Amino acid sequence: MPSADYREIRQWLVEQIRGGQPADALLRSMRDRGWNREVAYGLIAQAMAMRSEVSAPAPAPAAQASPASGRAMPAPIVEEGALHVDLGDRRVSVLAAMESPRIVLFDGFLSEAECDALVDMALPRMQRSLTVDIETGDSRTDVVRTSRGMFFRRGENPLVRTIEARVSRLLAWPVDRGEHLQVLHYRPGDRYEPHYDYFDPAGPGAQAVLARGGQRIATFLMYLREPERGGDTTFPDLGLRFAAKRGTALFFAYDRPDPSSRTLHGGAPVIAGEKWVATKWLRESVFE
């Protein structure tokens, strides 16, 4: 590993990110220069945070906000043409990828034991899932979302910390810029109607919601138990469907809070069996 001053390499990375260089290109460059993969991951994540702190734009006043050119975004660090990504504690496979919008499906992100343990810990705390009411900023039940769910506090236990750190390494995004890990349970007939994960900045309750960490800019969805039939994650505008296969994870990003992000998605009704998933929403700033 090079003996360069970390402050210098972080500053270089910030300048490269500011100039629009993607995280995977920076990783290749650092690896070519002899940097250890784990150290490179960490430095890129730190640089993205520094870049965001220096120049992150204020929340857009309306949903018609244009894409933020050069804006720091979470993104999978996948070397060009790579089938696998080595995260240190886990080697995951790239099953599918789309550039615009940025969507990547990973296999083997969680082990069967991790999936089972997360479900077992969540089960005693499950209750009817809520949605955020953008009119007030409060959470409420909604007929469009019929699952049950719960949240683990950030770093609540060793497994949660392991998963959060793994997500951070894969996406080069600081752990503290992610919401608390949510576990959801869908029984036969349960579904989540197509929706967007970002918050409408024009809504009356937007100020309160965005004050906790800025806008949501990406979603990381992990499948813990797969149903016998149904339960796909759908993207109606794109004609895409992803089966809820156990251990896989789906990432998608939206760089602007507008339908032009083409990230309308939903959870198709479970037809037979039960579906369990864990969701990590990523924010543009530190989530409190």
- CATH number (domain holding residue 267): 2.60.120.620
Q: Residue 80 — pLDDT band, cuts 50, 70, 90?
A: confident
Say if residue 28 is in the same domain as residue 161. Answer: no
Question: What's the domain range around 191?
Answer: 105-283
Q: Write the CB contacts of 25 (distance below 8 Å, at least 6 apart in sequence).
A: none
Say if residue 42 is in the same domain as residue 182. Answer: no
* pLDDT score recorded for residue 34: 82
Examine the pLDDT at 145 and tell me if it is beyond 80. Answer: no
Say if residue 150 is in the same domain as residue 211. Answer: yes
Q: Could you report the per-residue pLDDT of 12-32, keeping only the tens digit for each?
A: 887 887 777 777 777 778 888
| In a domain? residue 82 | no
pTM for the predicted model, two decimal places: 0.76
* Lowest-confidence pick of 12-16, 156-160, 180-184: 12-16
Examine the pLDDT at 99 and tell me if it is beyond 50. Answer: yes
Q: How large is the average pLDDT for residues 76-84? A: 82
Distance CA 44, CA 38 (A): 10
Say if residue 151 is in the same domain as residue 251. Answer: yes
* pLDDT score recorded for residue 60: 33
- Count of alpha carbons within 13 angstroms of residue 6, beta-carbon side: 9
Say if residue 4 is in the same domain as residue 140. Answer: no
| In a domain? residue 67 | no
Examine the pLDDT at 167 and tell me if it is beyond 70. Answer: yes
Say if residue 178 is in the same domain as residue 275. Answer: yes
CA 42 to each of CA 6, 62, 146, 198: distance values in angstroms, whole numbers, following the listed order: 11, 34, 38, 26
Q: How large is the average pLDDT for residues 180-185? A: 96
State the total domains in the chain: 2
Say if residue 38 is in the same domain as residue 132. Answer: no
For 221-235, letters b (16+ CB in 10 Å) and e give: bbbbbbbeebbbbbb
| In a domain? residue 86 | no
Say if residue 133 is in the same domain as residue 249. Answer: yes
Examine the pLDDT at 63 and tell me if it is beyond 50. Answer: no
With contact defined as beta carbons under 8 Å apart, do 105 and 248 qualify? yes
Q: Residue 5 — pLDDT band, cuts 50, 70, 90?
A: low
Last residue of a domain, one of 57, 78, 93: 57
* pLDDT score recorded for residue 44: 78
* pLDDT score recorded for residue 67: 41
Q: Could you report the per-residue pLDDT of 245-283, keeping only the tens digit for each?
A: 999 999 999 999 999 999 999 999 999 999 999 999 999
